[in-house]
Amino acid sequence: MSELSTLIPSTPARGERAIDLLVVGDTGIDLMVDVDTLPGRDAKSIGRSLGIHPGGMGANFAVAAGLAEPLLRVSLFSRVGDDPFGIGCIRALASAGIATDHVEVMADELTWWCAVAVAADGEKSLLGGRTPASLPDASRVGADVLAATRWLHVLADVPGSDDLIQRARAAGAGTSVDVEGSFVAEDADRARALIALADLAIVNTGAAQTLTGTTDDEAALRALLHDTAHRVVVLTRGAGGSLLGASGGDGSITIWSQPSVQVPRVVDTTGAGDAFAGTVIAALLADRGVDHALTAAAAHAARAISHLGSRSGGLPGWPHSHDSQERGDIHD
C-alpha cells in the first residue's frame, strides 16, 4: 500500500486511469524585466528586458509535475488566445511532455500575461493583465474527462473550482486545490470552504495566518485540518521550508517538516511555489512517499529560483532571455 493511499484512501491506484494528473488553471507569458528597485505606488522602474518566458500558475504546476515524474500522464485544462504568445505557450507545454488536448485556443483574444520586475536579490513585483483567455471555465471539464482522471488539481480562483472538486470526487478522483494569499484576501470564507472540500490543499504562510488568526505555522496547520478525516494540507514557508499535515481517520494529525534548500544566488523567485507544489503532488502520485515528496519539492523550488522565469528557457519562437550568469554580472 502506498503512502498516498494511506493518507487519502479514496485515491485510485496508479495505472487505473488514463490521466494521472489533470491540472485546471491558467497558461500565460511573463515579460521579464531586470530592475534596480521594485516599483512602488505611483513610481516607475525602467530596467533591462530579460525576455519573454512561458508562465501561468496552472501551466507551471503541470510542467513541474511532469519534470518531477516523467512517467506520469499529465494533462492541462486551460485557455490561451490565438495570438503568437498563445501558440508559443502550447509549444512550450508540448515540449515539456504535457498533454494539451484540453487547452482551448480562443479566437481573437489575447493570451494572459504578467509583467515581472525582478530586483537584484531575486525578489519580484508582478503586474498581471487578465483577458478572456485567462482562467478556464471549470464547468467545461466533462464527466468523461473526470472519469478518466486519477487526480485533479485546480487553482482556487478558477470560476467554479468548488463545483469541479465536488464533481471530481464524485467521479472517484483525488483532488487538490492551490489557495493563494491574494485569493484569501478577496474571499476568505470561500478559501476555507475549498480547503475543507479538497483532499489536499496547498497554502502559504500568509494565507494560513489570515485564515486561522495565528502566527504559529504548526498551530495554523492543525487549525486548517481540525474536524476533518483523511485530509492533507501543505504549508509553504518560502525560505523557512514547508510543513505537511495529514489528518487520520481517528482524528489524529501527523506533521512532516522540510527545510528549504539553500542556493548560491537567488536569481528570480517567480514560479518557485508552483515548482514546489507540482513536485509534491507528482511524487505522491508516483508512490514516492511524503519524505521523498517534500525533499524533491524543496530541491525543485531551489532550482527554480536559480534561473530566470517560472521555467528554464524562454518562450519558443521568441528571442531567448539572458541567462542567470549574465544577469548576475550586471549587479556585481
Report pLDDT digits (tens) over 207-224.
999 999 999 999 999 999
pLDDT at 6 over 80: yes
Sign of the CA dihedral 277, 278, 279, 285?
A: positive
Mean pLDDT value of segment 105-120? 92
Within the chain, what is the greatest distance between any pair of CA atoms?
57
pLDDT at res. 110: 96
Cα separation, 297 vs 138, in Å, equals 27
Angle between helices 57-68 and 272-285 (to 10 degrees): 50
Least confident of 26-30, 147-151, 307-311: 307-311
- Residue 152 or residue 181, greater confidence: 152
Range name among 49-53, 67-71, 193-197 with the lowest pLDDT average? 49-53
**Strand, coil or helix: what is 239?**
helix
Strands 231-236 and 242-247: antiparallel
For residue 326, pLDDT over 50 is answered with no
Residue 323 reports pLDDT greater than 70: no
Helices (H), the chain: 3-7, 57-68, 84-95, 143-147, 161-170, 181-186, 188-197, 205-212, 217-225, 272-285, 290-304, 324-329
Give the Cα separation of 265 and 306 in Å (integer): 7
Q: 315 near 102, Cβ under 8 Å?
A: no
- pLDDT band (50, 70, 90) for residue 325: very low
**How far lies 164's CA from each of 38, 93, 117, 192, 240, in Å?**
37, 23, 34, 16, 32
Q: How far apart are CA 87 and CA 113, in angstroms?
A: 14
Residues sharing a CB contact under 8 Å with residue 136, sequence separation 6 or more, in sequence order:
24, 25, 26, 58, 77, 78, 79, 104, 158
Answer for the pair 124, 269: CB distance below 8 angstroms, yes or no. Answer: yes
Residue pair 132/28 in contact (Cβ under 8 Å)? The answer is no
In sign, the C-alpha dihedral spanning 223, 224, 228, 230 is negative
If you average pLDDT over residues 303-321, what whole number do you get? 76
The percent of residues above 90 in pLDDT, for the chain, comes to 67
Neighbours of 144 (CB within 10 A): 9
Please give the mean pLDDT across all residues of the chain: 90
For 29, how many CA atoms within 13 A lie in the half-sphere containing its CB? 27
Count of CB atoms within 10 A of residue 299's CB?
A: 16
Q: Is the pLDDT of residue 330 over 50?
A: no
* HEC readout, 27-63: CEEEEEEECCCCCCCCCCCCCEEEEEEEECHHHHHHH
Confidence bin at 329 (pLDDT 50/70/90): very low
Tell me the torsion sign for CA atoms 310, 286, 199, 96.
positive
pLDDT at 241: 94
CA 298 from centre of chain: 14
28-51 confidence digits (pLDDT tens): 998 888 889 888 888 888 888 888
Q: In whole angstroms, what is the distance from residue 111 CA to residue 1 CA?
A: 43
Confidence of residue 1 (pLDDT cuts 50, 70, 90): low
